[in-house]
Amino acid sequence: MSDQPVRTMLDTTEDGELAFQEYFVHRKCEPKVKGFRFAGIEMARPAPGVLEAIEQADAVVVCPSNPWVSIDPILAVAGLQSALAAKLVIAVSPIIGGQTVKGPAAKMYTELGVQPSALAVARHYGKILSGFVLDRVDANLAQNISIPTWITNILMKNQDDRRSLAQDVLNLIQTL
């Protein structure tokens, strides 16, 4: 995202501010999260080629990753959200049935007072999205999402699942 260093810092109830790696590896995601800070973000600029790649893209796909600590730091880099504003942006939910397949995203949502769900993820990304992909388990949430949705199996257990999800994302892009 940037050649300048940006560190994800978590404000925790028990231990104050922790670097993400300390929270994730050493503390095993146990401390309760109260918020996030991206140390160095004010100096960060998009890495060479990033804005050009976005400009040349037909669409941008936000893969199923933790919105708080994986995607938000990228979106916080100066110029990235404005570059995305002119593009089709599709996100794939990292939450299925209120749970994350891997990692602390659902735990973080809960600790921040937000019910973890695909709907919460769609709302988290807000206006940058043109479309949203959610799992069949969460099909009932699609009616509450204000942008076009695609309902499919998003759990990728093998190569066929990955290929199928990629095709579904492309199908949603084509409909937009």
Q: What is the pLDDT of residues 26-60, one digit of tens each?
A: 999 999 999 999 999 999 999 999 999 999 999 99
68-85 pLDDT, tens per residue? 999 999 999 999 999 999
pLDDT at 106: 96
Cα–Cα distance, 156 to 15 (Å, whole number)? 35
Find all residues with CB under 8 Å of 12, minimum gap 6, and list them: 18, 23, 31, 32, 33, 34
Would the pTM count as exceeding 0.75?
yes
Alpha carbons within 13 angstroms on the beta-carbon side of residue 118 total: 30
Cα separations (Å) of 170 from 11, 89, 152?
37, 12, 12
Domain 49-175, what architecture?
3-Layer(aba) Sandwich (3.40)
- What are the boundaries of each domain within the chain? 49-175
